[in-house]
């Protein structure tokens, strides 16, 4: 225990954002304290999908024991599907494995890690240092305070104000057993009537199923039924040797379905959590840095409002914060994240309703998948979108240009 010890940086939360920031800042020679109160056996609720864009930016992620995926199946609300062979694979992680890998890198770089849940005091000490305290006792001081404590960040609320409920998406799902991961398909199924999607992300020894959607239209019972049906169909298709998985809200039938359901009831572990999905105005208003504080990852609201992807932004925001800190100007992090990915996230937020909305009398996602089935240019754009290489700023232009070009 190092009560009252003083650090250059206090980082609250050792998810991807906090651990990566701790590693980078410690490597630059700073004294870093990193806090997390999550019990080791408890994983953060997450699909664990990491795009090839992130794997290219930080190749060491491949050492964290994920499962690489070279093909993704996209399903439309009406039940049409298209398989995309990815030019570069993405990876699916168990969050326990990913988080502990990043935490160990921070430790090796020299950060001191405290397995404690802490709160940041409302006042600084007489020397202007932040004070962080743990419930059961313990007090740490630091020149810079970093909130990396996730979507429900109490520290961000204190530093930058609360986000409205409308700026949050809801995600819930089940972890279910998987005997053999080799041929288990990775599926993203757009929801009929909701802004969002269901997923099946097979990891090494289990599958993460889930649904992410906007909080304002959340109907838990209907969505849970839909996800359950999707899971039953997924397992039945595996037992049938890959027969069609049908629509996400397809009808269950027969004895096979009941057998699968019974097994799922006994084995599926449920989880639920929030993902930030900021409105464009919130991106304009919200500050993520001051002279001696910063918000990273989910605590800052940095997740893609269309897909819910947050791991890339957690890592990238940490890298940008570390650069600003090591250059001696923490407040410059504000300008850096806006210039780097701020415009892209804001654009995604503007596109969210259109992406999940109507297009020429049908769901846009239906149209997109139907078109992709027959048009290689559209398939290529979707592949790049899944890989994280196709941004939203020029998505429409790219789709239009490729769709009207000969096959
Ligand atoms: C169901 C679901 C599925 C998702 N799927 C994907 C996906 O497939 N791909 C993707 O890129 N993103 C996905 N996301 C988003 C992704 O999980 C987050 O964007 C990402 O985890 C953000 O990282 P972070 O480090 O900012 O926060 P977190 O990973 O949430 O880490 C915050 C840490 O802070 C700790 N903490 C909180 N309060 C305190 C405190 N007071 N004291 C000490 N420690 C504290 C927590 O224990 C936690 O470990 C998903 C999210 C959900 C909810």
Centre of ligand 1 to C-alpha 335, Å, is 24
How much is the pLDDT for 101? 96
Cα of 99 from ligand 1 centre, angstroms:
10
- Is a pLDDT exceeding 60 seen at residue 251? no
Nearest residue to 106 (alpha-carbon basis) of 172, 224, 27, 182: 27
For ligand 1, atom 22, name the residue with the nearest CA: 298
> With 90 as the cut, is the pLDDT of residue 121 above it?
no
Quick one: which atom of ligand 1 is closest to the CA of 312?
A: 11
Does residue 188 or residue 240 have the better pLDDT? 188
Q: Is 117 in the pocket of ligand 1 (CB under 6 A)?
A: yes
Q: Is 301 in the pocket of ligand 1 (CB under 6 A)?
A: no
Q: Is 47 in the pocket of ligand 1 (CB under 6 A)?
A: yes
The model's pLDDT over 268-280, given as tens digits with 9 standing for 90+, comes to 999 999 999 999 9
Measured in whole angstroms, how far is the alpha carbon of residue 375 from the centre of its chain?
Answer: 30
| φ, ψ of residue 73 in degrees (nearest 5) | -105, 125
Going by CA atoms, what residue is nearest to atom 38 of ligand 1? 149
- CA distances to 91, 97, 257, 305 from 174, rounded to whole Å, are 19, 18, 18, 22
Give the pLDDT confidence of 19-52 residue by residue, as tens digits: 999 999 999 999 999 999 998 788 899 999 999 9
Query: Are the CB atoms for 92 and 50 separated by under 8 Å?
Result: yes
Cβ distance 19 to 107 under 8 Å? Answer: no
Q: Using H for helix, E for strand and C for coil, what is the string for 274-299?
A: EEECCCHHHHHHCCCECCCEEECHHH
Summarised one tens digit per residue, pLDDT across range 347-359 is 999 988 788 877 7
Reported confidence tier of residue 362, pLDDT bands at 50, 70, 90: confident
Binding site membership of 106 for ligand 1 (Cβ less than 6 Å): no
Each residue's pLDDT tens digit, 181-224:
567 899 999 988 888 899 999 988 889 999 999 877 778 899 99
Q: Read off the pLDDT of each residue in 155-168 and give the average, rounded to a whole number.
A: 93
Is the CB of 92 within 6 Å of ligand 1? no
Which residue minimizes the CA distance to atom 16 of ligand 1? 310
Q: What pTM, to 2 d.p., does this model score?
A: 0.92
Closest to 47 (Cα-Cα) out of 236, 204, 243, 199? 199
CA 260 to ligand 1 centroid distance, Å: 31
Is there an atom of ligand 1 within 6 Å of 304 CB? no
- Does any ligand 1 atom lie closer than 6 A to the CB of residue 45? yes
What spacing in Å lies between the alpha carbon of 163 and ligand 1's midpoint? 16
Q: Report the mean per-residue pLDDT for the chain.
A: 89
Ligand 1, atom nearest to 172 Cα: 1
| Cα of 388 from ligand 1 centre, angstroms | 19
Query: With a 6 A CB cut-off, is 309 part of the ligand 1 pocket?
Result: yes
51 burial class (0-12, 13-18, 19+ CB within 10 angstroms)? buried
| Confidence band of 364 (pLDDT split at 50, 70, 90) | confident
- pLDDT for residue 387: 82
Provide the percentage of residues in the chain whose pLDDT is more than 90.
64
User: What pLDDT sits at residue 384?
Assistant: 87
Is the shortest distance between the CB of 17 and ligand 1 below 6 Å?
Answer: yes
Closest Cα to atom 15, ligand 1: which residue?
A: 310
Alpha carbon separation from 69 to 166, 181, 183, 202, 309 (Å, rounded): 33, 11, 10, 9, 16
58 CA → ligand 1 middle, Å: 18
Report how far ligand 1's centroid is from the alpha carbon of 296 (Å). 11
CA of 327 to the centre of ligand 1 (A): 27
Q: Is the CB of 277 under 6 A from ligand 1?
A: no
At residue 1, the pLDDT reads 44
* Ligand 1 centroid, distance to 227 Cα (angstroms): 22
Whole-number pLDDT of residue 369: 87
Higher pLDDT among residues 25 and 377, named by residue: 25
Q: Give me the residue spans of the domains in the chain.
A: 5-45+95-165+279-353
d(CA 196, CA 189): 9
Fold of 5-45+95-165+279-353: FAD/NAD(P)-binding domain (3.50.50)
Q: How far, in Å, is the centroid of ligand 1 from the Cα of 262?
A: 31
Q: How far is the CA of 325 from the centre of ligand 1 (A)?
A: 23
131 has a pLDDT exceeding 50: yes
Counting ligand 1 atoms within 8 A of each CB, the residue from 12, 271, 275 with the most, and so the one to mutate, is 275
């Amino acid at each position: 225990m190092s009560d009252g010890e003083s650090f250059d940086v206090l980082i609250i939360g050792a998810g991807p954002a906090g651990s990566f920031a701790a590693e980078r800042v410690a490597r630059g020679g700073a004294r870093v304290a990193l806090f997390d109160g999550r019990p080791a056996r408890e994983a953060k609720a997450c699909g664990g999908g990491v795009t090839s864009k992130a794997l290219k930016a930080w190749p060491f992620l491949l050492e964290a024991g994920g499962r690489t995926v070279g093909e993704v199946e996209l399903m439309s609300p009406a039940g049409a599907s298209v398989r995309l062979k990815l030019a570069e694979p993405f990876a699916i992680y168990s969050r326990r494995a990913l988080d502990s890998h990043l935490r160990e890198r921070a430790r090796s770089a020299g950060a001191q890690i405290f397995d404690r849940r802490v709160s940041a005091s409302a006042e600084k000490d007489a020397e202007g240092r932040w004070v962080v305290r743990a419930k059961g006792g313990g007090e740490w001081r630091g020149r810079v305070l970093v909130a990396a404590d996730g979507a429900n960040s109490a520290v961000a609320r204190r530093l930058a104000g609360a986000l409205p409920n409308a700026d949050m998406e809801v995600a819930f799902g089940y972890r279910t057993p998987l005997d053999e991961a080799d041929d288990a398909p990775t599926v993203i199924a757009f929801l009929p009537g909701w802004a969002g999607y269901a997923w099946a992300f097979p990891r090494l020894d289990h599958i993460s199923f889930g649904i992410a959607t906007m909080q304002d239209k959340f109907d838990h019972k209907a969505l849970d039924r839909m996800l359950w049906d999707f899971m039953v169909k997924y397992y039945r298709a595996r037992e049938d040797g890959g027969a069609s998985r049908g629509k996400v809200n397809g009808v269950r039938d027969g004895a096979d379905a009941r057998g699968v359901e019974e097994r799922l009831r006994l084995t599926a572990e449920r989880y639920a959590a929030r993902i930030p999905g900021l409105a464009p105005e919130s991106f304009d208003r919200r500050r993520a840095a001051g002279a001696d504080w910063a918000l990273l990852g989910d605590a800052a609201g940095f997740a893609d409002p269309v897909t819910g992807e947050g791991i890339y932004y957690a890592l990238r925001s940490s890298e940008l914060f570390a650069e600003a800190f090591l250059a001696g100007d923490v407040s410059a992090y504000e300008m850096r994240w806006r210039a780097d990915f701020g415009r892209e996230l804001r654009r995604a937020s503007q596109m969210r309703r259109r992406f999940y909305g109507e297009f020429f009398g049908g769901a846009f996602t239906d149209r997109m998948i139907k078109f992709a089935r027959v048009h290689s240019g559209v398939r290529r754009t979707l592949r790049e979108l899944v890989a994280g290489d196709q941004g939203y700023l020029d998505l429409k232009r790219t789709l239009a240009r490729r769709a009207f070009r000969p096959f």
